[in-house]
Structure 1
Amino acid sequence: MPMALIKAMCLIKKCCAMYHLLTKEMPEDVCNAIAQAADEVINDGHTEIYNYQHHFPLVVFQTGSGTQTNMNVNEVLSNRAIQLLKGNDAVGSKSPVHPNDHVNKGQSSNDSFPTAMHICAVETLTKTTLPGLKLLQSALEQKMKEFDQIVKIGRTHCQDATPLTLGQEFGGYHQQVTYAIARIEATLPSLYRLALGGTAVGTGLNTKVGYAETIATAIAHETGLPFITAPNKFEALAAHDSLVEVSGALNTTACSLNKIANDIRLLASGPRCGLGELSLPANEPGSSIMPGKVNPTQCEAMTMVCAQVMGNHVTITIGGTQGHFELNVFKPVMIANLLQSAVLIGNACTSFAERCVQGITPNLANIDKLLHGSLMLVTALNPHIGYDQASVIAKFAHAQNLSLKQAFCAKFQEWANGAGDNAHLGHAKAQELVQQATAKGLTDMAQVFADQFDAWIIPENMVGPTAP
Structure 2
Amino acid sequence: MTSQKQYRMENDTLGNIMVPTTAYYGAQTQRAVENFPISGIVLPREFIKAQGIIKAAASSVNVELGTLKPELGAAIKQAAEEVIEGKWDAHFVVDVYQAGAGTSQNMNANEVIAKRATEIIGASEQIHPNDHVNMSQSTNDTFPSALHIAASENLKQELLPAIGRLHEELQKKADTFMPVLKAGRTHLHDGVPMRLGQEFSGYAETIHMIYQQLEHNLQALYEIGLGGNAIGTSVNLQPGYIPKIIEEVRRRTNLPFRQPSNMFAFMQNMSEPIRCMLTLKELAIHLIKITSDLRLLSSGPRTGLAEITLPAVQPGSTIMPGKVNPAILEMTHMVCSQIIGYETAIATAGMASQLEINVMMPMIAHTFLHSINLLTNAIDTLTTKCISGIHVNEEICKKWMEASLSLVTGLSPTLGYDMASQIGMKADEEYKTIKDILKDQGLFTEENQQAIDPKGMV
Q: What is the TM-score when the length of structure 2 is the normalising length?
A: 0.89
Partner of 1:35: 77
Matched, 1:390 2:420: yes
Partner of 1:357: 387
Question: Which of 124, 141, 162 lines up with 2:154 in the alignment?
Answer: 124
Question: Which of 91, 112, 116 lines up with 1:55 in the alignment?
Answer: 91
Partner of 1:173: 203
- 1:308-323 to structure 2, matched below 5 A, reads 308-323=338-353
- 1:15-94 to structure 2, matched below 5 A, reads 15-45=57-87, 52-86=88-122
Q: Which moves more between the two structures, 265-274 or 183-192?
A: 183-192
Tell me by how many angstroms 1:174 deviates. Answer: 0.3
Tell me by how many angstroms 1:231 deviates. Answer: 2.8
Contact 2:140 2:357 (C-alpha < 8 Å) held by counterparts: yes
Q: Which whole-Å CA distance do the structure 2 matches of 1:209 and 1:228 have between them?
A: 17
Which residue identity does 2:408 align to in structure 1?
Answer: V
Q: Which moves more between the two structures, 305-314 or 342-351?
A: 342-351
Partner of 1:435: none
Contact 1:305 1:345 (C-alpha < 8 Å) held by counterparts: yes
Which residue identity does 2:222 align to in structure 1?
Answer: Y
Residue 66 of structure 1 aligns to a residue whose secondary structure is: helix
Which residue identity does 1:18 align to in structure 2?
Answer: S
Tell me by how many angstroms 1:54 deviates. Answer: 1.8
Contact 2:48 2:89 (C-alpha < 8 Å) held by counterparts: no
- 1:335-346 to structure 2, matched below 5 A, reads 335-346=365-376
Question: Which of 449, 452, 456 lines up with 1:457 in the alignment?
Answer: 452
Matched, 1:237 2:232: no
Partner of 2:55: 13
Runs of 4+ in 1 over 3 A off after TM superposition: 450-453
Contact 2:181 2:195 (C-alpha < 8 Å) held by counterparts: yes
Q: Which whole-Å CA distance do the structure 1 matches of 2:47 and 2:116 have between them?
A: 19
Question: Which of 319, 333, 343 lines up with 1:289 in the alignment?
Answer: 319
Which residue identity does 2:250 align to in structure 1?
Answer: A
Partner of 1:269: 299
Which residue identity does 1:288 align to in structure 2?
Answer: T
Partner of 2:194: 164
Which residue identity does 1:74 align to in structure 2?
Answer: N
Could you tell me which runs of 5 or more consecutive residues in structure 1 were left unpaired when the two chains were aligned: 46-51, 414-429, 431-448, 464-468
Tell me by how many angstroms 1:451 deviates. Answer: 4.8
Contact 2:65 2:238 (C-alpha < 8 Å) held by counterparts: no
Tell me by how many angstroms 1:301 deviates. Answer: 0.8
Backbone CA RMSD of aligned residues? 1.3
Q: Which whole-Å CA distance do the structure 1 matches of 2:62 and 2:185 have between them?
A: 65
Contact 1:128 1:347 (C-alpha < 8 Å) held by counterparts: no
Tell me by how many angstroms 1:452 deviates. Answer: 4.7
Could you tell me which runs of 5 or more consecutive residues in structure 2 were left unpaired when the two chains were aligned: 1-42
Residue 183 of structure 2 aligns to a residue whose secondary structure is: strand
Residue 194 of structure 1 aligns to a residue whose secondary structure is: coil
Tell me by how many angstroms 1:250 deviates. Answer: 0.7
Which residue identity does 1:458 align to in structure 2?
Answer: D
Q: Which whole-Å CA distance do the structure 2 matches of 1:301 and 1:396 have between them?
A: 43
Which residue identity does 2:66 align to in structure 1?
Answer: K
Partner of 2:40: none
Partner of 1:135: 165
Which residue identity does 1:292 align to in structure 2?
Answer: G
Q: Which whole-Å CA distance do the structure 2 matches of 1:192 and 1:55 have between them?
A: 28
Tell me by how many angstroms 1:189 deviates. Answer: 2.1
Residue 193 of structure 1 aligns to a residue whose secondary structure is: coil
Matched, 1:407 2:437: yes
Q: Which whole-Å CA distance do the structure 2 matches of 1:218 and 1:145 have between them?
A: 46
Which residue identity does 2:60 align to in structure 1?
Answer: M
Q: What is the TM-score when the length of structure 1 is the normalising length?
A: 0.87
Question: Which of 222, 226, 245 lines up with 1:215 in the alignment?
Answer: 245
- 1:318-333 to structure 2, matched below 5 A, reads 318-333=348-363
Residues 176-234 of structure 1, C-alpha deviations (whole Å, 9 max, x = no match): 10000011111122211111111111100011222111111110111010001123221
Tell me by how many angstroms 1:285 deviates. Answer: 1.5
Q: Which whole-Å CA distance do the structure 1 matches of 2:134 and 2:83 have between them?
A: 16
Q: Which whole-Å CA distance do the structure 2 matches of 1:262 and 1:234 have between them?
A: 44
Contact 2:450 2:456 (C-alpha < 8 Å) held by counterparts: no
Residue 162 of structure 1 aligns to a residue whose secondary structure is: strand
Q: Which whole-Å CA distance do the structure 2 matches of 1:20 and 1:331 have between them?
A: 26
Residues 47-93 of structure 1, C-alpha deviations (whole Å, 9 max, x = no match): xxxxx23201111111221000000000001111112222xxx6xx9
Tell me by how many angstroms 1:104 deviates. Answer: 0.3
Partner of 1:418: none
